[in-house]
Structure 1
Amino acid sequence: MAPYESGDNTGAAEVDDLPTGRRKAARYVVPVAVVGVAAATIGLVPALADSGDPDLPKITAQQLIEKIAKSDVQQLSGTVKFSTDLGLPDLGGLENSLLSGATRSGDGSSADPSAKLTELLTGTHTLRVAADGPDRQKLSLIESAAEYSLIHDGKDVWGYDSKSNEVYHGTSDQDGKGGKDRKGHKEELPATPKDFADEALKSVDDTTSVTVDGTVHVAGRDAYKLLIKPKQSGSTVGAISIAVDAKTGMPLKFTLTPSSGGAAVIDAGFTQVSFAKPAASTFAFTPPKGAKVTEEDDQAQKAPGKDSLKPGKDSLKPGGDFAKGLGGDDFAKGFEGGDGFTVLGKGWNTIATFDTGSKGGVPSGSAGGDLGGFLGSLGDRVTGKFGKGMVFSTRLVNALITDDGKVYAGAVTKDALVKAANAAK
Structure 2
Amino acid sequence: MAKPKRNPYSEELANKIIEEYQPKSVEDMQDALKDIFGPMFESMLKGEMNHHLGYESNDKAEKDTENRRNGYGKKNIHTSSGALDIQVPRDRDGSFNPKLIPKRKKDVSAIESKVIAMYARGMSQRDISSTVEDIYGFSVSHDMVSDITDSVLPDLEEWQARPLSNCYAFVFVDCMYTTIRNQYETKKYAVYTILGYTMEGTKEILGLWLNETESKHKWMQIFDEIKARGVEDIFFISMDGVSGLEEGAQAIFPNVVVQRCMVHLIRNSVKYVPSKDYKPFTQALRKVYGAPSLKACHSAFESFKQQWAAYPGAIDVWIRNFNHVEQLYDYGSAIRKVMYTTNAVESIHSSFRKVTKKGAFPNENALLKLLFLRIRELEDKWDGGHLRNWAMVMNQLLVHDHFKDRVLKYLE
Q: TM-score range by the shorter chain?
A: under 0.3
TM-score, L = length of structure 2? 0.21
TM-score, L = length of structure 1? 0.20
> Whose Rg is larger?
2
Higher share in strand = 1
